[in-house]
Amino acid sequence: MDIILFTVVGIVLYVATGQLLTMLEKMHGEPLPQRNIIFFVIILALSLPTFSLLRTLLGPGESPQHDYQEQQATDGGNQPPESH
């Protein structure tokens, strides 16, 4: 279920970033130079805190990262035995 929520939020952020960039271009009066870089900076600035907030609100859950960390704690990280 988490993956669906994160996907939907990502799509919303993508659309919102496009609208914000279009609004900035209208204020500027012409297409902005380096539009792709500006788009990247806006979506990065929006997505990092948004996904961090989602992760905090949802808790650890059953994400692959959580399972991996749990596995490392119980089996020592699948390290081969030391030879003497």
- Tell me what pLDDT residue 44 has: 97
Annotated domain spans of the chain: 32-59
pLDDT of residue 9: 96
Residue 59: per-residue pLDDT: 84
> CA–CA separation, 4 vs 45, rounded Å?
21
Report the predicted TM-score, pTM, of the whole model to 2 decimal places.
0.68
Looking at residue 64, what is its pLDDT?
Answer: 57
Check the CA dihedral 80-70-9-47 and report its sign: negative
Q: Tens digits of per-residue pLDDT, 3-47?
A: 999 999 999 999 999 999 999 999 999 988 999 999 999 999 999
Quick one: tokens of 3?
């993956």
Task: Report helix, strand or coil for 57.
Answer: helix
